Amino acid sequence: MSSTPVAGTSRGDPRLSLAGRRRVRGVAGLVVGVGGFLLVWTLLSELIFGEFTLPPPLEIGQLMWEIVRSGEFIHHFVPTILRLAYGFGLALLIGFPVGYLMGTSRWWRAFFHDMVMVAGSIPGITYAVLALVLFGISILGPVLSVGLISMPYVAINVAEGLDSVDRRLVQMSDAYGRRRPTIVRNVLIPSVAPFAFAGVRLSFALAWKVEQLTEVFGSSSGVGFQIRHEFEDFSIPGMLAWVLLFIVFMILLERFVLAKLERFLFRWRLEDRP
Amino acid sequence: MSSTTTTARRTGTGRLARYFRSDVGARVTSYVFLLVVWQLAALYEERFPPPADALGFLWIEVSGGSHGGVVRGEFLEHFAATLPRFALGVAISMVLGVLSGVLIGGSKIAEALLKDTLLMLVALPAIIWAFLTQMWLGLGDDAVVITTFLSAFPFVAVNVVQGIQAVPRDLRRMSGAFHVSGYRRLRHMLLPAVTGYLFAGFRFAVIIGWNAVLLGEWFSSSEGVGWRSRYWYDANRYKGFVAWVILFVGFIVLLDRLVLVRLQRRAFRWRDAQLGETERQIEEIDVGATVS
């Protein structure tokens, strides 16, 4: 036991290098993967399809750079992201009470069951065109679509989160004469918030696709609007440049911002996270 | 609570109240609630048709009656045009999805090379394919079928990859150490693990493919469910559009709830036996969200 520190370092070292090696391998895989993908794309474009049908990645890369440099990117990105954020806010606002009702009452669970279960399988075009009919060209369409798409995920997660609330904490608050609103604010909401957020994250991929479609159909700004604009100009490179920029941005947002936020919200339950 | 139940048993209105309090009663109430919301939405925006108008239009469309003038209801024609495209697109996406999923799940090199491409394809919205195929191929069946399969196949592939990687490594090593034959490995190790994921992939392919086929038809066809919806939309007859929304949403919801969810639940029995109801629901609404 006296040699603990030495044993510790000698045991620690290979593990560290193993993690390091794994990370190097991950990055190498990414580089090789993306490089191979771009190479195959270039070859297909040069040899088989032709530059008009499938523009080479270099051309699209230049266009993407141009879009970012000219400030157009920010100009159309900010509204799209804001609508997404409002939509998620709406989903949380409605999903919380709905999830609470579903988690605490059998009747309300049955009441919301069908709505919650079908929302995800409804084709996106339904949301897009109905929003256009109801609201015209307006911010309400994309926001409501995102809200409706991700509300069920939030609600179901909140309902599940309620099961995880520490009963003893609630009983104790009761015993010390805390009133219901106080318990809800100080015990229930903090316990359930991370679950609600996990619902948002689950619905993220689906929600932004539907939002884009809504923008394609009825919007005067945003990435979806820009995609439609390029389509009407018959510009394949322009369309691909916009959608690829958006996808890259969304994947980064999902991986880094949302994943970190979720870990932050769940930090008090570290034992659940591997 | 007990006193209300006793009175409920005694009187006729009590029976109604009991029905209202049951699960079925709750679901019926939710449908009534939705109808009321719809009616209110129609009051708010006069372009948006109230339920009665849309359902009346739906009936004419389905029964083949006249919309006034020479335009007649054409329900069967358009479903007959769409379903083969849809089936073909989903079938191609299953074949290609399984092939590429097995390739990526089975080989480290293929995984390093193709996994990021696959994730990018998963992230591409169907509308991009609808636009691209229209520009590449013009109007017609090809554009619609290709939109359908390009939108759906990445989801099948991702699910097959997950299925293959879900086979416990110990099991794989052990069957290697004990020289288990290839057939038995396939039958008892690989297939049971992959089947559930394959069904889940199939379900996603159907749901995502249905959205894609409608979009494809909206932009590059002159018949079919998506086209007919657009036809009424372009003609400013929104009750026609809403009638078709009921038809195509009804189609996919019934297909999903009555067939696909049951298949998926059956195929995942071995895995989800101990899941609670909520966890199972999360699995089931999780259309296309599992990935990323």
Compute the mean pLDDT over every residue in chain B, rounded to the nearest whole number: 82
List pLDDT tens digits, range B245-286.
999 999 988 888 888 888 877 777 766 666 666 666 666 665
pLDDT at B158 over 60: yes
If you ran DSSP here, which 8-state letter would residue A271 be given?
A: G
What pLDDT does B1 receive? 42
If asked whether residues A204 and A236 sit together in one domain, one would say yes
Helix (H, G, I), strand (E, B) or coil at A12: helix
**How many residues comprise chain B?**
292
- Residue B210 sits at φ, ψ, to 5 deg, of -65, -45
Distance CA A171, CA A167 (A): 6
Tell me: do A153 and A174 sit in the same domain: yes
Nearest CA-CA distance, residue A57 and chain B, Å: 14
Q: Which amino acid is at B129?
A: W
Cα gap A25→A17, rounded to integer Å: 12
Q: How far, CA to CA in Å, does A263 sit from each of A174, A195, A201, B41, B86?
A: 30, 11, 12, 40, 40
Q: How many CB atoms lie within 10 A of CB A140?
A: 16
Q: How many domains does chain A have?
A: 2
Could you identify the residue written with the tokens 């279960």?
A117
Q: Which residue of A has its CA nearest to B46?
A: A134
B109 vs B12, which has greater pLDDT?
B109
Check whether residue A65 and residue A40 sit in a common domain.
no
Q: Where does a domain end: A32, A54, A76?
A: A54
Q: Which residues of B touch A240 (CB under 8 A)?
A: 128
Task: Say if A113 is an interface residue toward chain B (CB within 8 Å).
Answer: yes
**Helix (H) or strand (E) run with residue A232 in it:** helix A223-232
CA distance B150 to B93: 7
Extract the tokens encoding B238: 């929104």
- Looking at the predicted structure, is the pLDDT value of residue B221 above 60? yes
CA-nearest of B94, B116, B104, B105 to B200 is B94
* Res. B91 pLDDT band, cuts 50 70 90: very high
The verdict on A131 and A38 lying in the same domain is: no
CA-nearest residue to B278 within chain A is A160
Check pLDDT > 80 for residue B65.
no
Q: Which of A125, A140, A251 to mutate to test the interface with B (most CBs of B within 10 A)?
A: A125
Identify from A121, A156, A211 which residue to disrupt to test chain B contact, counting B C-beta atoms within 10 A and taking the largest count: A121
The answer, yes or no, to whether residue B224 has pLDDT greater than 70, is yes
B72 three-state secondary structure: strand
- B280/chain A closest Cα distance in angstroms: 10
The answer to whether residue A178 scores a pLDDT higher than 50 is yes
Residue A263: pLDDT over 60:
yes
Residues of B whose CB is below 8 A from A159: 278
Given this model, what pLDDT does residue B285 score?
Answer: 63
Closest C-alpha among B112, B101, B263, B261 to residue B166:
B101
Domains of chain B: 2-48 (no CATH), 75-285 (1.10.3720.10)
Give the A window 31-60 contacts with B, CB below 8 Å. Answer: 32-34, 36-37, 53
User: What residues in A contact B122, CB-CB < 8 Å?
Assistant: 205
Q: Which residue of B has its CA nearest to A25?
A: B112
Q: With an 8 Å Cβ cutoff, are A33 and B233 in contact?
A: no
Tell me, yes or no, whether A21 and A90 share the same domain.
no
What percentage of residues in chain B have a pLDDT greater than 70? 86
State pLDDT tens for residues A8-50. Answer: 344 444 455 666 766 776 677 777 777 877 888 888 877 777 7
Most confident range, picked from A156-160, A188-192, B108-112, B174-178: A156-160
Q: Pick from A207, A212, A201: which is nearest to A80 by CA? A: A212
ipTM above 0.90, yes or no: no
Identify the residue among B47, B108, B211, B239 best suited for mutation to test binding to A, counting A beta carbons within 10 A and taking the highest.
Answer: B211
- A157 vs B: CB within 8 A: yes
**A3 and A39 both lie in a single domain:** yes
Q: How far is A248 from chain B (nearest CA, A)?
A: 8
- CA-CA-CA-CA torsion for B282, B286, B290, B292, nearest 10 degrees? -120
Please identify which residue in the block is written with the tokens 């036996």.
B273
Find the CB nearest B125 among A135, A157, A209.
A209
Residues A168, B21: Cα–Cα separation, whole Å: 30
Same-domain pairing of A115 and A243:
yes
Of B26, B127, B289, the CB nearest to A111: B26
How far, in Å, CA of A10 to CA of B86, rounded? 60
Contact A120 B287 (CB under 8 A): yes
> Residues of B with CB below 8 A from A227's CB?
127-128, 131
Distance in angstroms (rounded) separating the CA atoms of residues B217 and B10: 58
pLDDT digits (tens, 9 = 90+) for A182-204: 887 787 877 888 888 888 877 88
A120 secondary structure, DSSP code: G
pLDDT in tens, A220-236: 888 888 898 888 888 88
Rounded to whole angstroms, the Cα distance separating A231 from A64 reads: 16
- 3-state percent helix, strand, coil for chain A, nearest multiple of 5: 85, 0, 15
- Record: contact B113-A243, CB cut-off 8 A: no
Least confident of A84-93, B116-125, B262-271: B262-271
A72 and A2 within one domain: no
CATH number at A256 reads: 1.10.3720.10
| Residue B149 binned pLDDT confidence (cut-offs 50, 70, 90) | very high
SS3 call for A137: coil
pLDDT in tens, B4-16: 444 445 556 777 7
DSSP codes of every residue in B160-214: HHHHHHTS-HHHHHHHHHTT--HHHIIIIIIHHHHHHHHHHHHHHHHHHHHHHHH
How far is C-alpha B212 from the geometric centre of its chain's CA atoms? 10
Q: Both tokens of residue A184?
A: 């809800």
Distance from CA of A16 to the nearest CA of B (A): 23
Give the max Cα distance, chain A.
77
Q: Which residues of A touch B252 (CB under 8 A)?
A: 121-123
Instruction: State whether residue A29 sits within 8 Å of chain B by CB.
Output: yes
In a shared domain, residues A49 and A181 = no
Question: Is pLDDT of B60 > 60?
Answer: yes
Q: Residue A151 to residues A104, A165, A199: CA-CA distances in angstroms?
A: 18, 21, 8
Mutate to test the interface with A, among B1, B107, B111, B131 (most CBs of A within 10 A): B131
Q: Is there a contact between A99 and A156 (Cβ–Cβ < 8 Å)?
A: yes
Q: Which of A209, A207, A200, A197 is nearest to A247 (CA)?
A: A209
Q: Which domain holds residue A188?
A: 57-272
Burial pattern B228-257, b for ≥16 Cβ within 10 A else e, equals: bbbbbbeeebbbbbbbbbbbbbebbbebbe
The sign of the torsion formed by the CA atoms of A84, A90, A94, A97 equals positive
Q: Residues of A39-67 as b/e, b for ≥16 C-beta within 10 angstroms?
A: eebeeebeeeeeeeebbbbeebeebbeeb
| N-term to C-term CA, chain A | 29
Co-location of A64 and A192 in the same domain: yes
Rounded to 5°, angle at Cα B78 from B72 and B82: 175
Task: Tell me, yes or no, whether A46 and A130 share the same domain.
Answer: no
Same domain, A3 and A110: no
Q: What's the whole-number average pLDDT of chain A?
A: 80
Asked if A107 has any chain B CB less than 8 Å from its own CB, the reply is yes
